[in-house]
A and B are shown apart, each in its own frame.
Chain A
């Protein structure tokens, strides 16, 4: 079985500060890992994904995430927050045998203060 835990349902940062959103996963086989972003009243869109190539993955809008197998983590970072980054962020895992199903974390709402 696969599962995802996102630490912190709400993270608040100042504009220009580092963004760190935490995600830990559980999977019995090597996983594929995703970060999705949801802006208010919209559907989800892919931010970045890890598919067993490079462990440091770069995504859209300056975000990146590092896969750490020993820590079963896939934390999302951005060096300098922008007001437009305010949204809800979801970590998700897909593993072999899941028939292409994603399991999502509960989400982290990012607030960016001026």
Chain B
């Protein structure tokens, strides 16, 4: 099993450009998450999908949109990138069948917006 995969690994955008970060999991998990990691800030939740067909905002959703394409895939879109969105983005998944479940993380996408 590959676990959680993310593409691309690195990306450089100019201000105003758009892009979609892709995430897929092969563990048949119900819940999926997008986080951003900034130095000294820990991980902050952008959006999550508790189950297929549902999405909801996390702590820092402004400037982002998401799509739960199917049970496996959860994409994050930046419509008009800003320098403040320079960050490392992590996708994660969990069974979502009860509390206390482990979240499994992808390797991350390092995004720079100039």
Contacts and interface: CB of A to CB of B under 8 A. Distances in A.
A and B interact physically: yes
B100 interface: yes
Interface in B84-114: 90, 92, 94, 96, 99-103, 105-108
Interface in B7-60: 31, 33, 40-45, 48, 50, 56, 58
A90 B40 CA distance: 11
Interface size class of A (residues with CB under 8 A): 20 to 34
The main secondary structure of chain A at its interface with chain B is: loop
Interface in A28-43: 32, 34, 41-43
A51 B102 contact: no
Interface size class of B (residues with CB under 8 A): 20 to 34
Interface of A: 9, 32, 34, 41-46, 49, 51-52, 90, 94-96, 99-107
Given A90-B42, A104-B44, 10 more contacts: A42-B108, A43-B4, A44-B43, A94-B100, A96-B99, A101-B33, A101-B45, A106-B40, A106-B41, A107-B40
